[in-house]
Structure 1
């Protein structure tokens, strides 16, 4: 049942993130170009404590839209979009500040990311040893 609730929340947030920018948009006149063309970049990020996303109830979920402009419920949308652009949208390539040391405490944090990055489907899950380690990888992206 927990997994069903997680998927329902993820799908609802994804739909809102992807369709939100479309509300109020009018049809372009025949033969005219749209005001702006961009590949959609809208993600839903969740965070919970546990070793895998399966069976873990998300404690926090945010939306992050990076095109045409940074927006969403993510508290640091602009820096998070900048980090993602610098990594080419590859969540595995995110790196944080060098020289930061974390304890070896095992208090696993699971991050999931679902949505679209520059028109391509994204589905990502990663378990970090603790909050400090999570912050090392994508200090803005995973800071919610």
Structure 2
């Protein structure tokens, strides 16, 4: 009698375990907590004085998030996200915008950087301008902070 009771308990445990596993497998997948249907876009943008990312002294830094809406500590996140979307996240296109304004040819370098994720892809970008005038000429909304 003792063996029959043990066999029934073991059988019941196996059936319950199988049902629990089947219920978990049949449950619908939950959307990711990182913004649902949107690929994440979270960036840290900096402006520093120096010749390279490694040697520059950071003067300003802001955060920028573009998905699902524009937000962050950037002073105009909507305009910055709009500019980045227009060039498909190509930071070279942002920093290479020509200007008609004349600047001196002094070498007093400024570095802009962008690190983080743009539409789900890792981004690490830096660009060195000859001086502050050249930097302010060539930048639109993204690095204007």
TM-score using structure 2 length: 0.70
Note if 1:137 corresponds to 2:138: yes
Q: Do the aligned residues in 2 keep the contact of 1:80 with 1:141 (CA within 8 Å)? A: yes
Q: How far apart, in 1, do the equivalents of 2:70 and 2:86 lie? A: 14
Q: Which residue of 2 aligns with 1:106?
A: 107
Q: Which residue of 2 aligns with 1:50?
A: 50
Shift of 1:50: 0.6
87-96 or 61-70: bigger deviation:
87-96
32-41 or 59-68: bigger deviation:
32-41
RMSD: 2.1
Shift of 1:98: 3.9
Taking the TM superposition and a 5 Å limit, the aligned residue runs for 1:38-117 are 38-94=38-94, 95-96=96-97, 98-117=99-118
Shift of 1:53: 1.4
Q: How far apart, in 2, do the equivalents of 1:39 and 1:71 lie? A: 15
Q: Do the aligned residues in 1 keep the contact of 2:99 with 2:138 (CA within 8 Å)? A: no
Shift of 1:107: 1.5
Q: Which runs of 4+ in 1 moved over 2 A?
A: 30-36, 95-103, 135-138
Q: Do the aligned residues in 2 keep the contact of 1:134 with 1:142 (CA within 8 Å)? A: no
- Which structure shows the higher helix fraction? 2
TM-score using structure 1 length: 0.71
Shift of 1:33: 7.2
Q: Which has the larger radius of gyration?
A: 2
Matched pairs, number: 115
Q: How far apart, in 2, do the equivalents of 1:70 and 1:83 lie? A: 12
Structure 1 unaligned regions, length at least 5 = 1-29
Q: Which residue of 2 aligns with 1:22?
A: none
Q: Which residue of 1 aligns with 2:119?
A: 118
Q: Which residue of 2 aligns with 1:12?
A: none
Shift of 1:32: 8.1
Tell me the secondary structure at the aligned position of residue 112 of structure 1.
strand
